Chain A
Amino acid sequence: MIKLQNIEKVYRTDTIETLALNGINLHVAKGEFLSIMGPSGCGKSTLLNIMGLLDEPSNGQLHIDGHTVTKLSDKELAGFRNKRLGFIFQSYHLINDLNVLDNVELPLLYRKVNAKERRRLATAALEKVGLSNRLRHFPTQLSGGQKQRVAIARAIVGEPEIILADEPTGNLDSAMGNEVMDILIQLNQQDKTTIVMVTHDEQMARKTHRLVRLFDGAQVQ
């Protein structure tokens, strides 16, 4: 499903060059739930961002579902992200000015989906994460766990094949973290969604199919 070949990421300033990822080779199978662990600054999020086409590798090739995606234009990348990828961020990144339903509808705004259908799909996604009673609430009126469930609903509303989650339980207490994790496991098992999750939490990582460890930008496990 996702194939990374010799991926490198170098950050350059006038005086210093930092190798954030060093020759990463990784294959994520369709329907797999993979977790990535490692100490802070080891390149986990950078790797996830490259897989999510939010960042470009300095070297190497990235293939998603047989497509080489390293040379796509801005428009093609946007279309690819919109149809095939869903994102969950540690700090949720909900739009506080929009209510829950409008936040979840967001990916559908960039597809040719009419308003009625958008509403139906967003409501269904929110029902899936147990938030159908909070449609008109604004993000500031929700708890951390509820916010992350809204973010999950937003990630799945467009039925993407891949979900990329960057420390989705990082800002939550263990109970809420487990709730979010259960939803992700359910999505993986029921909908066969491929999930790649960056986490610091060994316990959460153990619930996934496979664990990849990074250290100083290199894969060590």
Chain B
Amino acid sequence: MLKNYFKIAIAVLKRRKFFTFISLFGISFTLATLLVLTSFLDKVINDEYPDAKRSRSIYVTGIEERGKGTRSSSALSLGYVNKYILHMKTPAAIAFHSMQIGTNAYHNGKKISVNYKFVNSVFWDIMEFDFLQGKPFSAQQVNSLDKVAVISQDLSDAYFGIGEPAVGKYLEVGNDKYRISGVVKNVPATAYMLNGDMYIPYTLSQDNPNEQTYFGSWNAVLLARSKSDMPLIQKEYEDIIARLPHSDKRFTKTLSNADEYLDAYMRAGNQDGKSKTWIYTALGIFVFLIVLLPVVNLVNINITRIMERSSEIAVRKAFGATANTLVYQFIVENIILTLLGGLFGLLLAQFFLWILNGAALLTNVHLTLNLTVLFTGLLICLIFGFLSGVYPAWRMSRFPIIKALKA
């Protein structure tokens, strides 16, 4: 029976080439867009370089204080990290790092843009950077304020030459010279909390570890012993926030969250959680609309084709097809159409990604159609086929036989 449906589906596609083109173009273009989007999301969610222990990591990215008519919000101060976070008991390890700071380096008269981060030595234990040369700096080097640095492959290539050894050499940034301790594989821009061109000991920062303000430019990563320990860490942090004295008399409420990766990624500085909801909602609406348009288009085209196929419907009914059998047939046909559109969509998505990767819009981000994306694409095709087939199929199946025979 499926073979019969397949033959019919292909014949129907061939019959009205313009309609077929519109349908397939709508499906393939939408799918390609969704596939590019899912490829990006896949990169954000599933690319665990360098935080491979992401599944048992907790991220504290900011703090917010509110009072009557006033609100202050930013990343954490080094003093806050030092006084409240480093004393937490439940995490197995605590890393902290500053946000990116931009500066320039000059080499052979060439200006090189450098984004650097201050980090503690535990940062290298929690993160699993891929060292192409050398090794991370040690706790001892951090404590003794050694001017050492771990740099990205891109910076190494730009400053020392492509493929040239960099470890032990010096890199001059601003007015300081740093001895290169290691070179790591580039971190994609999508890992915005962790990426940088250069990582140096936090003790070289101008920030005072005993400062009283809560507001600064630091983030913390708390590693749990196991996934089951994560709620304990979150609870301990909630308790810290509940007891935290306000940094100024103006403030009456303090908000700060210990988040899992995706929540921290989505929070984007807003501690009351609304931005996360907005992002999820906006993404949901975007995907819904982008799927809805071709579905409506397909429903429309399918309904237009009802009259064309009225004789076939009537004959099938006359010879024993039930309404449900016809619904099944038309859904199968539609799924065949959408799978075909999906195949074109995959090719189109591959083409879009090739353009995007070539344009290097996002640093060190190479988007690919991996298995997750392919599986998502297949699922989207099936949902497409089902959604755009159900209503026309239902209408077709209830078409009175006599009316259909006379049409």
Contact = CB atoms under 8 A, between A and B. Distances in A.
Interface stretch (B207-215, B311-319, B377-385): B311-319
Contacts of B405: 54, 89, 93
A97 B320 contact: no
A148 B41 CA distance: 59
Interface string B311-336: 11011111111111100000000000
Contacts of A30: none
Contacts of B315: 87, 93-95, 106
Contact of A109 (B4, B311, B312, B402): B4
Contact of A110 (B7, B320, B401): B320
Interface stretch (B8-16, B226-234, B242-250): B8-16
A65 B315 CA distance: 23
Interface in B288-344: 311-312, 314-325
Nearest to B3: A115
Given A49-B402, A89-B405, A109-B1, A82 B7 contact: no
Chain B at the A interface: mostly helix, strand, loop or mixed?
helix
Nearest to B401: A54
Interface in A85-129: 87, 89, 93-95, 97-98, 102, 105-107, 109-111, 115
B312 A107 contact: no
B320 A107 contact: yes
Nearest to B8: A97
A93 B3 CA distance: 21
A97 B324 CA distance: 22
A97 B7 contact: yes
Contacts of A109: 1, 4, 321
Contacts of B323: 74
A12 interface: no
Contact of A74 (B11, B319, B322): B322
Contacts of B1: 109
Interface in A40-81: 49, 52, 54-55, 74-75, 78-79, 81
A154 interface: yes
A111 B321 CA distance: 10
A206 to B, nearest CB: 27
A205 to B, nearest CB: 22
A160 to B, nearest CB: 10
A110 B3 contact: no
B317 A55 contact: no
Contacts of B311: 93, 95
A94 B401 CA distance: 15
A109 B318 CA distance: 13
A82 B319 contact: yes
Given A95-B312, A97-B15, A102 B7 contact: yes
A95 to B, nearest CB: 5
Nearest to B321: A110
Most B C-beta atoms less than 10 A away, residue of A97, A107, A111, A115:
A97
Given A49-B402, A55-B402, A93-B315, A98 B4 contact: yes
A107 B401 contact: no
Nearest to B1: A109
B318 A81 contact: yes
A84 B317 CA distance: 14
B11 A78 contact: no
B322 A106 contact: no
Nearest to A50: B402
B324 to A, nearest CB: 8
Contacts of B3: 115
Nearest to B11: A97
A107 B8 contact: no
A110 B325 contact: yes
Given A93-B405, A95-B312, A97-B12, A52 B320 contact: no
A29 to B, nearest CB: 24
A55 B319 contact: no
Nearest to B398: A74
A98 B319 contact: no
A105 B405 CA distance: 20
A154 B402 CA distance: 19
Contact of B319 (A49, A97, A102, A106): A106
Contacts of A82: 319-320
Contacts of B318: 52, 54, 81, 87
Contacts of A98: 4, 7-8, 11
A52 B325 CA distance: 20
A55 B314 CA distance: 12
A106 B318 CA distance: 10
Most A C-beta atoms less than 10 A away, residue of B12, B317, B320:
B320
Interface of B: 1, 3-4, 7-8, 11-12, 15, 311-312, 314-325, 401-402, 405
17 contacts: A54-B317, A54-B402, A78-B320, A87-B315, A87-B318, A89-B405, A93-B315, A95-B312, A97-B12, A97-B312, A109-B1, A110-B320, A110-B322, A110-B325, A111-B320, A115-B3, A158-B319
Interface of A: 49, 52, 54-55, 74-75, 78-79, 81-83, 87, 89, 93-95, 97-98, 102, 105-107, 109-111, 115, 154, 158
Closest 6 CB pairs of A and B: A82-B320, A97-B11, A110-B320, A107-B319, A78-B322, A54-B401
Given A89-B405, A98-B8, A109-B4, 5 more contacts: A49-B401, A54-B405, A82-B320, A97-B15, A154-B319
